[in-house]
Amino acid sequence: MQPTAPWTAPDPAQIIKLLEACSKRNRPLILLFLATGMRLSEVLGLRWDEVDLARGVIRLPGERTKNGCSRTVPLNEHARKVLQDAALKRLEKCPLVFHVHGRPIKSIRDGFDAACTRTGLKDFHVHDLRHCFASALAMCGVPLQAIGELLGHKTMSMTQRYYAHLSPDMLKRP
């Protein structure tokens, strides 16, 4: 579900409360969403052969992205820490980064919705974490083209639709 523009992200204190309200299993996933802007399917299906901790990137092949184009996702310190912690729990024959006893995680919706309820966030969805990531970048002055590339948008119109109003340059215009 896409928010209607303009979209307003929860404040940092609400995000911290949300993380605290998340289960031990879901917290690393939520952190990775916030740190990378990846889609739910990209995170739940993340494989170790797509992660390059030495170079600090995730390389998503086109068959795993919404637009069919491969992309490289840079890892900040938070994303890197999540993946390093996951590597400590890695099962030898399981290619997935996040799993339950070697089986894919099908959904985090119930746990996420419960954490949102405990936090007081209404009408907030997992996909909104992707918008939090992009909104934070826009408010820090990251060029919209770079945000679009990080999110894997095929066209700039999608990026502009949701994040142009948050750009410091847009705020300066009369």
Tell me whether residue 130 is one of the annotated catalytic residues: yes
Beta bridge partners of 60: 71
In this structure, are residues 63 and 70 in contact, taking their beta carbons and an 8 Å threshold? no
The one catalytic residue among 25, 90, 127, 154: 127
- Residue 111 forms part of a structural domain: yes
Phi, psi (rounded to 5 degrees) for 104 = -60, 145
What's 46's domain CATH number? 1.10.443.10
- Residue 27 forms part of a structural domain: yes
Tell me whether residue 162 is one of the annotated catalytic residues: yes
Tell me whether residue 66 is one of the annotated catalytic residues: yes
Tell me whether residue 172 is one of the annotated catalytic residues: no
Tell me whether residue 101 is one of the annotated catalytic residues: no
- Residue 157 forms part of a structural domain: no
- Residue 48 forms part of a structural domain: yes
Q: Peptide bond before 104: cis, by omega within 30 degrees of 0? A: no
What 3-state DSSP class applies to 163? Answer: helix
Q: How many domains does the chain have?
A: 1
The one catalytic residue among 17, 39, 71, 131: 39
| CA pair distance 173, 110, nearest whole angstrom | 42
The one catalytic residue among 17, 71, 131, 162: 162
The single-letter code of the amino acid at 154 is K
- Look at the alpha carbons of 97, 100, 104, 105 in this order and tell me if their dihedral is positive or negative: negative
> Whole domain around residue 65: which residue ranges?
12-125
- Kindly give the confidence (pLDDT) of every residue in the chain, 174 residues in length, as a single tens digit, with 9 standing for 90 and above: 454 545 567 888 999 999 999 999 999 999 999 999 999 999 999 999 999 999 999 999 999 988 888 999 999 999 999 999 999 999 989 999 999 999 999 999 999 999 999 999 999 999 999 888 888 888 788 777 787 888 776 765 665 555 555 555 544 444
In Å, how far from its chain's centre is CA 77? 14
Predicted pLDDT at 161: 55
- Residue 145 forms part of a structural domain: no
What 3-state DSSP class applies to 101? Answer: coil
